[in-house]
Amino acid sequence: MSTCWHKPLKDIPYNPNAAKRLMGDLTELMEWKAKGKLRYWFLTLAHRHHSPISQVFLGPFNKPAIVISDYREVSDILSRRDGLHFKRGIKVDSFKGIIPHSFSAMETFDPRFKPNREMAKGLMAPSWLFNTNSRYIYRGALDIVRIWRTNPQLEPRSSRDVANDIKSFAFATIWAAAFGFPLGGFDESESSKSLITIADDESRTQESDRRAARTQWPEEFQSLNILADALAKSFYSPFPRLYHAINNLRPAVRNAWRTMGKHTSSYNIHTDPNTVSSARNALYQQEHRIAEKEGRKFDPEDPRSYLLAGYDTTAGAIIWCVRHLFAHPDWQDRIRKDLYATYPKAHHEDRLPDYAEIQAERSSLLDAFIEEVLRLTTPVITVMLETRYDTKVLGYHIPANTKVFCNLCQSSQAYVGHMKKESWVHDEPELFKPERWLVKDADDKTRFDPAAGPMLGFSAGNRGCWGQRLAYLEIRIFLAVVLWELKLEGVKEQSWDLYESLVTAPKNTASVIPQSNDHFVLFDNWPY
């Protein structure tokens, strides 16, 4: 029975009351989970214990786990010590249940990790993003503007929950880039219809209406959500392999696997394998080469990793951006004016800048706004690792096989007593101030500086978000189009309630009231 009780690690702060309970910190953690803020609980520990490192007790029979909230230490672990002193542990088993041959399902020290990650790098090249992703993102953003402006179900100044609209936008655009044709088939007009259908179904105000509408969602959308939900739930399981083995027997999950397999097969029929025109095509060919080299059976499952990486995380980031636009309406006006100055030709011609213009020239204020949103409220809040061997963290001895939670969100201000001046300790790091990312260049022009301060919104090192360039591009194009065409007005007393799945984001981006920016004319016939 003595193994049930907690044995704190020497000198590392902890909650004495939790150490005396059989369930440890789990009791309090479950209370936060009920509020949708389980991951945010980890961010409170630095202030609670006045320390950048603390330990928590996650139930009986478990060793103490470590929580680190120091930017430099987290950055060092992720950039230089991951794979040497640290491993991903059961997180790898979670990914294996959904995307077994993806690098996410491999330890950093696995010899297969590097070639599999390199395989996906080409999908983030600027030329690839411009030729493959940009036009689908731009078209999806235009459809969202049309939905928010002209939806016949909306009375003047009526409200609309835009969080689910954004999710449908992210899904439709990543699907089109993955398979080389829009959601709904090869006809781009069908893509717009599918996006609008998903958005309208998702944004119904009555829960009964939403349940009734779910049967109308495209099966691709349903299947990806089912697999994403399974992956998210496996993160909370102490035995993810067993969880997936049982969960995969459920009819809904089995049908989701069949649907994804069906689309993989139909893609091979409809697409010339010698033409690299989509992410699926590129991954298909490279996976085939790697499978031959490793002497294993070819498994064309790679689009799942691309879809999962480009859907939920990006949607969460955009939802956070829109939520902050509601909370800081002055930044809407500032960004819009900067967009007009950044694209003067489009402004003079009373038209939207096209996707090529948005990708070629960047608004400094928009980039600063996005960076500050991701610094404070990144969709991925915490990364869990395990120690491979006995090691030291911030001077403390940590035994082998100890779970270590590295806080990404707000790590730069979680314990400012350990921060230097260049980390904004004297610049109110807990506040939302996008201007902290703006600097004056040699010509006295204001420009965005991504290295102006500490930032871990996309993690770091070999396991950092490989789709970071795509995420920034999608967020930038979406916000540029929406802010150019619309003024977004949120209802009073908007909720900051959260949902937690693969990512953490506002549960309801809150019944926004789209107010048309009448100075510009929205195209009736979409030219892109």
User: Would you kindly state where each structural domain of the chain is located, as residue ranges?
Assistant: 1-98+381-456, 121-380+457-516
HEC letters along 180-247: CCCCCCCCHHHHHHHHHHHHHHHCCCCHHHHHHHHHHCCHHHHHHHHHHHHHHHHHCCCCHHHHHHHH
Instruction: Give me the pLDDT at residue 185, please.
Output: 43
Longest C-alpha distance within the chain, in Å? 77
Cα angle 415, 417, 423; round to 5:
80
Residue recorded with tokens 């996005």: 370
Query: Which residues, 6 or more positions from 522, have their beta carbon under 8 angstroms from its beta carbon?
Result: 145, 146, 149, 352, 485
State the alpha helices, DSSP H only, in 273-418. 279-294, 303-327, 329-342, 344-348, 355-360, 364-377
Instruction: Give me the pLDDT at residue 247, please.
Output: 94
C-beta of residue 257 within 8 angstroms of C-beta of residue 251: no
Q: What is the pLDDT of residues 203-227, one digit of tens each?
A: 454 444 444 444 456 788 888 889 8
Query: CATH assignment of 1-98+381-456?
Result: 3.30.43.20
Q: Residue 105 has which token pair?
A: 């399902």
Q: What are phi and psi of 420, to 5 degrees?
A: -95, 175
Q: How far apart are CA 436 and CA 25, in angstroms?
A: 36
Q: Residue 45 has which token pair?
A: 């520990």
Q: Which amino acids are annotated as binding site for heme, given as ranges?
A: 465
pTM summary value: 0.84
Instruction: Give me the pLDDT at residue 126, please.
Output: 82
Query: Which residues, 6 or more positions from 473, have their beta carbon under 8 angstroms from its beta carbon?
Result: 129, 133, 134, 137, 359
Instruction: Give me the pLDDT at residue 132, please.
Output: 80
* DSSP H or E stretch at residue 175: helix 163-179
Q: Residue 323 has which token pair?
A: 């939520």
Q: Which amino acids are annotated as binding site, given as ranges?
A: 465
Q: What is the pLDDT of residues 39-63, one digit of tens each?
A: 888 988 998 999 999 999 988 888 9
Q: Residue 176: left (phi > 0), alpha (psi -120 to 50), or beta?
A: alpha
Q: How far apart are CA 165 and CA 139, in angstroms?
A: 14
Instruction: Give me the pLDDT at residue 386, please.
Output: 94
Residue recorded with tokens 């996006």: 195
Q: Residue 173 has which token pair?
A: 């655009």
Residue recorded with tokens 């980039």: 367
C-beta of residue 318 within 8 angstroms of C-beta of residue 311: no
C-beta of residue 398 within 8 angstroms of C-beta of residue 391: yes
C-beta of residue 382 within 8 angstroms of C-beta of residue 91: no
User: Which of helix, strand or coil describes residue 173?
Assistant: helix
Q: How far apart are CA 74 and CA 58, in angstroms?
A: 21
Taking only the tens of pLDDT, the chain with its 528 residues reads 555 678 899 999 999 998 988 888 988 988 888 877 888 889 889 989 999 999 999 888 889 999 999 989 999 999 999 989 999 988 899 998 888 888 888 999 998 888 778 777 777 878 888 888 888 899 999 988 888 876 544 454 455 667 888 888 888 888 888 777 666 543 444 444 545 555 555 445 444 444 444 445 678 888 888 988 899 889 888 899 999 999 999 999 999 988 887 766 655 544 454 555 677 777 777 767 777 777 776 665 556 777 877 788 888 899 899 889 988 889 999 999 999 999 999 999 989 999 999 998 999 999 999 999 999 888 888 899 999 999 999 999 999 999 999 998 765 444 444 444 355 555 678 789 999 999 988 787 889 999 888 888 888 888 888 788 889 999 999 999 999 988 887 666 666 667 677 777 776 655 555 555 544 433 333 334
Q: Which residues of 39-75 are buried (b: 16+ CB within 10 A; e: fewer)?
A: bbbbbbbbeebebbbbbbbbbeebebbbbbbbbbbbb
CATH superfamily, domain at 121-380+457-516: Cytochrome P450 (1.10.630.10)
Other CB atoms within 10 Å distance of the CB of residue 176: 25
